Amino acid sequence: MPGPRSGKKYSARDDAGGSSKAALTEAFDKNLYDGGGTDKYAGYDLTIPAGDNDDEMDDEGALNGRKLVGQYTATSAQIDEFARGDTAEDDILMSREKQAQIASRETEYQQRRFDRRLSPDGADQNGAKSYKDAMKEREFEREEARVHKVIEQRERDGGDMVLDHQPTLKDGETVSGDKTPPMEEKPRKNKRRWDDNATGEGPAQAGAEDVDMKDPPAKKRTRWLADDATPAAATPEAATPGADSDADKPARSRWDTTVRPTAGPVAPQDGAEGTSSAVAAFPFGVDNRNAPLSDEQLDAMFPIEGYKILEPPPGYEPRPRPVGGQMLPAGYQGYLVPEADSSLAVMGKQLPTDIPGVGDLQFFKTEDMKYFGKLTDGADENDMNVEELKERKIMRLLLKVKNGTPPMRKTALRHITDNARQFGAAALFNQILPLLMERTLEDQERHLLVKVIDRVLYKLDDLVRPFVHKILVVIEPLLIDQDYYARVEGREIISNLAKAAGLAHMISTMRPDLDHQDEYVRNTTARAFAVVASALGIPAMVPFLQAVCRSKKSWSARHTGVKIVQQIPILMGCAILPYLKGLVECVADSLNDENNKVRMAAALALAALAEAATPYGIESFDPILNPLWTGARRQRGKNLACFLKAIGYIVPLMDEEYSNYYTGQIMEIVIREFQSPDEEMKKVVLKVVSQCSGTIGVTGVYLRDSVNAEFFRNFWVRRMALDKRNYRLVIDTTVDLAKKSGVSEVVGRIVGNMKDETEAYRKMTVETIDKIISILGVHDVDTRLEERLIDGVLVAFQEQSIEDPIVIDGFATVVNALGERTKTYLPQIVEVVLARLNNRSATVRQQAADLISRITFVMQKCDEDPQLVRLGQALYEYLGEEYPEVLGSILGALRAIVTVVGLHAFQPPIKDLLPRLTPILRNRHEKVQENTIDLVGRIADRGADLVDPREWMRICFELLEMLKAHKKGIRRAANNTFGYIAKAIGPQDVLATLLHNLRVQERQSRVCTAVAIGIVAETCAPFTVLPGLMNEYRVPELNVQNGVLKSLSFMFEYIGDMAKDYIYAVTPLLEDALIDRDQVHRQTAAAVVKHMALGCVGLDCEDAMLHLLNLLWPNLFETSPHVIDRIVEAIEGVRNAIGAPLVMNYVWAGLFHPARKVRHPYWRLYNDAYVQSADAMVPAYPDVEDEACRRHELDVFI
């Protein structure tokens, strides 16, 4: 046990035992070497807190639990706020690449997935272990964990110190846990610790486990040499020129072979020189500690007897070293200047992006080399056997899927899917699954690999059986991922897996994990089981679940069983209703389990079941009501929280009588727990109160008498407003209470808080009152409360320092709910608002203006028009405001006033107001633009005659600028305003302005102008616009002509069947456009034809339409997608206007044309016609010469 802890322990012993002996390993001179009686780190934190529970140790330095100096720092919650959770800020030091990795985002708990082994020992390459083996292994792991725990416990107790040489040898008394055992008892003290306990376990564990746990030690030099004949010697090292002298040089240990580069940067060691002597040559650079251990050293370190150097397992090959990897080469001798021709490995060769046989990849990471390195070794594929070829093939495809470009991925994925059965499950999964366990995996890669598994599963079907466990090990972690889509993906895979492998196989595979000693494994297994249940149906699982939940053998199996029951409703929702009884029975007994955790899980499972079943299924819960309620009386702390949670969810299912009774039974405990300092408990209690108060059986009288007082005393305190989650919950619960116990009762209790000095608390109160009043109204609020309410809300409004809509919303809700009852308070409110409009702070002015726009409606209802006009005048004065946010609010307030008082009553008169607005239209701020255009539009709509036409023209010019706005709403409002203005002052001038604007460069502006022309044409009748518009088409400029066509298109779209009067007028223009050289011209003309044709269906314009169709038809062979789409749409429009048979006459000609390029568009038209008007085509079907095809029915003649 290294580190400061061990040092501390020794010194502690010195003090406690008062031993006079000096330990050999410790410095005697304590003063000099800091070994003295006191730990020099005493009083310091020795660890950096990593978890969430670091607030337990801040009591240090406190006297009687009270700090002597005030704490002038933020709370730990505030400090941590940006460290994790949703608000966490990205660490800028972490590179982007790193952030993309899944592992870097995971919590410590989620990272425990790396602790699971993919291929458990003893499993052969092609298949899983037998059920028996798996169970045995789990048993063994549990035992191991237990022994670890015992040892840890002993070390903590400080009894196992071998250093302390008490003559226990002669004691002869029995050894208890805290004494050092006599030497005879532990003859092999260097042995693996759990070997001592293994005597009863049989040889099973002496096998595979040892391989990875125990250091293979050295015994004799000769044996190391003998080892060189093993495959390790076949590494490139052996192939170097010095290889023949291998036998007489001091052999390097086997460890070195793996890290030795394929072509080393340093000259090969000369045979006689060992590692240590090589190091000695560079005394300044590398010190001995960093040099690899030589065999002599290993020999010296390990005893000769009792050890044996293990053979590497068959099939073991040293891992291929990644190119450019970071490991030190074997004979590292410090930095040498690389020679010019030295290998790529040192020169930091770029990772390849082009793997032979794969093509260009999007990227290639260092880690990929580990899996795909084989592809770059340049081996000749001609002398490989089928298996190797297959392996390489799969490797290539996987690499393409993982790192390739989208089209590459698609073909590779398809290839893997199609050939899945030929490749075989083993070959595929042995490559895919290790990739998914890679630590540096990124979201995209994981998604793609999971997709591969999904596709492959479908194809392999029951062939996957041997791999079920391995796949589960890899996929289960997805079920607890933060990312929703990852969870969905995981569920899908597991459910497909379950369908492919069958229930029996799934159960026998997952059963051993149910009582796995690692909680992480149990948790994920439970979730996976729930997915299996949803895939194969709950009824099939219930008997198994019942058995697991009643397992006598271990509490962990019961715990997992109950957890499965909890997960099923979370996953399936109300689909559990038919099986509710069975599921409840599974967990019923566990409520009284002897183990704490099982009881908690059972209560949580019941809560989940009840939540999913709401509002049905109370009869299924009958058997557990009694245990639950009596249990709740016995439990404390976290257990109680779980029980209360379950109760909270079950109460809403009950009928009136029962819920009344059961709520009464439990409320006592809930009220007691109001005072609990535990956050979790607070949350649960709040939830239970809101659930109980929502049931019919709980009356308002009851709540008023026995709950409210305690509730408000405990939860309506300032502290609650500071914690975001509690804040929400308290508000919701209070609103629920108000629904039952009445507005005046609840609002009366909290109304005073609006004058509190804490802003957050005021805000919380206002929000609560806002919610209560907007749901329940103010009918039972008496005059006194009304006064307090207005008073409080005014104070909250005035004291507000942070910009937040909550207070204004609350104000508006209260005032609007009070309606005419507000009249008495209005003068006061108006005074406050006026004073604040004049405030120095911009925020205050903005809030005042915002408030005006919310209360104008009520003011009008209270006949306070003079006051409104007064406000309007004041706002008019402030139109020179420089802050755009404030200006936007002021304009919004003006608009609100104009809306209620009307244009004629408004002061100052509109003809004075509008000229002030014209320059503001030029403001680029979105909020200002939106509000001005709205106000101007309203004036143009209702009172255009109040303003001079010349002013309107000026506004028209400004409006053109607005067509460039980014926000669609603004552009739309501007377009509509064009329509209003044109209506007011006649279309001529407006049209001239707009037509002129068609010549500008920006596309968006031109499009909007075209729309505006369409709108003007619609509002002022087309005949006022068309002549000018068509005249404009004569301008020999592409943009203008296009703009005209676009305007026509919008116009015909807007005017609908009015179009029939103008068709013959525009046909020559369209003729010209449809035979223009420019594609876009034809495209836009086609759009015009479409709208025109759809406008005149059945209005007797067939001749013109047929004419246009003739011009459209040759465009059928356009290939640009936009063009062809418009053309086809136009033809469809014409088909509607002139009927399917006429158009079909054109279509028949090309359906069986020898050229595919011709057939293709013709079939497209045929299909469109078939979908839209199949019946109308029947009479038009051509006569086929063939006798068999004749339609004799048509020959019938009467």
Partner 1 sequence: MADKLRAQQQLESLQARYIGTGSADTTKFEWTSNIARDSLTSYLGHPPMLQYISIGLGQSREKTRIQLLERMIQPVGPPPEPKE
DSSP element (H, E) containing 1073: helix 1063-1074
* Total H helices, total E strands in the chain: 57, 2
Q: Does 1117 bind partner 1 (CB under 8 A)?
A: no
By the 8 A CB rule, do 570 and 526 touch?
no
Q: Which contacts of 676-679 are long-range, i.e. CB under 8 A and separated by 24 or more positions?
A: 678/637, 678/638, 678/641, 679/723, 679/726
| Residue number, 315 or 407, with CB nearest to partner 1 | 407
Segment lying near partner 1 (by CB under 8 A), choices 97-105, 303-311, 777-785, 1168-1176 = 1168-1176
DSSP state of 442: B
Q: Does 1119 bind partner 1 (CB under 8 A)?
A: no
| Residue number, 530 or 1165, with CB nearest to partner 1 | 1165
DSSP state of 331: T
Q: Does 1163 bind partner 1 (CB under 8 A)?
A: yes
| Residue number, 61 or 406, with CB nearest to partner 1 | 406
| Residue number, 272 or 1178, with CB nearest to partner 1 | 1178
If DSSP codes are grouped into helix, strand and coil, which group holds residue 65? Answer: coil
Query: What is the token pair recorded at 297?
Result: 């050293």
| Residue number, 213 or 1178, with CB nearest to partner 1 | 1178
Q: Residue 966 CB, nearest distance to partner 1 (Å)?
A: 31
Q: Does 90 bind partner 1 (CB under 8 A)?
A: no
Query: What is the token pair recorded at 964?
Result: 């460039």
By the 8 A CB rule, do 656 and 698 touch?
no
Task: Give the C-alpha separation, 1127 to 1087, whole Å.
Answer: 8
Cβ count near 954 (within 10 Å): 16
Q: Residue 1159 CB, nearest distance to partner 1 (Å)?
A: 4
Q: Does 415 bind partner 1 (CB under 8 A)?
A: no
Task: Give the C-alpha separation, 139 to 150, whole Å.
Answer: 17
Q: Does 1023 bind partner 1 (CB under 8 A)?
A: no
By the 8 A CB rule, do 138 and 513 touch?
yes
Q: Residue 54 CB, nearest distance to partner 1 (Å)?
A: 52
Cβ count near 1059 (within 10 Å): 22
Q: Does 1154 bind partner 1 (CB under 8 A)?
A: no
Q: Which residue has the tokens 């070794």?
A: 377
Dihedral angle, C-alpha 517, 521, 525, 527, nearest 10 °: 120
Q: Does 1196 bind partner 1 (CB under 8 A)?
A: yes
Segment lying near partner 1 (by CB under 8 A), choices 50-58, 206-214, 596-604, 1166-1174 = 1166-1174
Binding mask 367-406 for partner 1 (x = CB under 8 A): ---------------------------------------x
Segment lying near partner 1 (by CB under 8 A), choices 183-191, 214-222, 771-779, 1189-1197 = 1189-1197
**Per-residue three-class SS string for 198-249:** HHHHCHHHHCHHHHHHCCCCCCCHHHHHHHCCCHHHHCHHHHCHHHHHCCCC
| Residue number, 109 or 1181, with CB nearest to partner 1 | 1181
| Residue number, 451 or 999, with CB nearest to partner 1 | 451
| Residue number, 319 or 1153, with CB nearest to partner 1 | 1153
What phi-psi label fits residue 777: left (phi over 0), alpha (psi between -120 and 50 degrees) or beta? left
**Under rule CB under 8 A, which residues in 722-751 are in contact with partner 1?**
none
Q: Does 1156 bind partner 1 (CB under 8 A)?
A: yes
If DSSP codes are grouped into helix, strand and coil, which group holds residue 474? Answer: helix
| Residue number, 968 or 1157, with CB nearest to partner 1 | 1157
Q: Residue 726 CB, nearest distance to partner 1 (Å)?
A: 51
Q: Residue 1079 CB, nearest distance to partner 1 (Å)?
A: 19
| Residue number, 909 or 1150, with CB nearest to partner 1 | 1150
| Residue number, 373 or 1139, with CB nearest to partner 1 | 1139
360 forms beta bridges with 354
The number of residues making up the chain comes to 1198
Segment lying near partner 1 (by CB under 8 A), choices 203-211, 475-483, 627-635, 1173-1181 = 1173-1181
Q: Does 1178 bind partner 1 (CB under 8 A)?
A: yes
Q: Choose which of 187, 407, 677, 1036 interacts with partner 1 (CB under 8 A).
A: 407
Q: Does 1170 bind partner 1 (CB under 8 A)?
A: yes
Q: Does 536 bind partner 1 (CB under 8 A)?
A: no
| Residue number, 439 or 1191, with CB nearest to partner 1 | 1191
Q: Does 1174 bind partner 1 (CB under 8 A)?
A: yes
Q: Residue 1185 CB, nearest distance to partner 1 (Å)?
A: 11
Q: Does 340 bind partner 1 (CB under 8 A)?
A: no
Helices (H), 819-962: 826-837, 842-861, 865-877, 884-901, 910-920, 926-943, 949-962
Task: Give the C-alpha separation, 467 to 123, whole Å.
Answer: 11
Q: Which residue has the tokens 């410090």?
A: 334
Q: Residue 1087 CB, nearest distance to partner 1 (Å)?
A: 22
Q: Residue 1187 CB, nearest distance to partner 1 (Å)?
A: 9
**CA-CA distances (angstroms) from residue 980 to 150, 576, 964?**
87, 59, 19
Q: Does 1146 bind partner 1 (CB under 8 A)?
A: no
Q: Does 1167 bind partner 1 (CB under 8 A)?
A: yes
| Torsion sign across C-alpha atoms 21, 27, 29, 32 | negative
Query: What is the token pair recorded at 627?
Result: 């245990």
Q: Does 60 bind partner 1 (CB under 8 A)?
A: no
Q: How many residues bind partner 1 (CB under 8 A)?
A: 27
| Residue number, 46 or 1184, with CB nearest to partner 1 | 1184
Segment lying near partner 1 (by CB under 8 A), choices 11-19, 327-335, 884-892, 1174-1182 = 1174-1182
| Residue number, 48 or 1188, with CB nearest to partner 1 | 1188
Q: Does 1159 bind partner 1 (CB under 8 A)?
A: yes
Backbone phi, psi, residue 419, to 5° = -100, 15
Side chain identity at 745, as an amino acid letter?
E
Q: Does 1184 bind partner 1 (CB under 8 A)?
A: yes
Query: What is the token pair recorded at 300?
Result: 């010296």
Side chain identity at 917, as an amino acid letter?
L
Q: Of the candidates 550, 556, 553, 548, which has an alpha carbon nearest to the alpha carbon of residue 530?
A: 548
Q: To the nearest 5 percent, what fractions of the chain are helix, strand and coil?
A: 70, 0, 30
Report the interhelical angle of 406-418 vs 443-460 (nearest 10°). Answer: 20
Task: Give the C-alpha separation, 1082 to 1118, whole Å.
Answer: 10
| Residue number, 212 or 1186, with CB nearest to partner 1 | 1186
* Strands 359-360 vs 354-355: parallel, antiparallel or unpaired: antiparallel
Q: Residue 399 CB, nearest distance to partner 1 (Å)?
A: 20
Query: What is the token pair recorded at 463?
Result: 């062939």
| Residue number, 67 or 414, with CB nearest to partner 1 | 414
Task: Give the C-alpha separation, 677 to 736, whole Å.
Answer: 23
DSSP element (H, E) containing 354: strand 354-355
Please classify residue 413 by burial: count the beta carbons closer than 10 Å to its beta carbon, then call 0-12 exposed, 13-18 middle and 19+ buried: buried
Q: Does 1175 bind partner 1 (CB under 8 A)?
A: yes
Q: Residue 403 CB, nearest distance to partner 1 (Å)?
A: 19
Q: Choose which of 410, 713, 719, 728 interacts with partner 1 (CB under 8 A).
A: 410
Q: Residue 1126 CB, nearest distance to partner 1 (Å)?
A: 18
Q: Does 1149 bind partner 1 (CB under 8 A)?
A: no
DSSP element (H, E) containing 1116: none
Summarize as ranges the residues that interact with partner 1 (CB under 8 A).
Answer: 406-407, 410, 1151-1152, 1156, 1159-1160, 1163, 1166-1167, 1170-1171, 1174-1175, 1177-1178, 1181, 1184, 1186, 1188-1189, 1191, 1193, 1196-1198
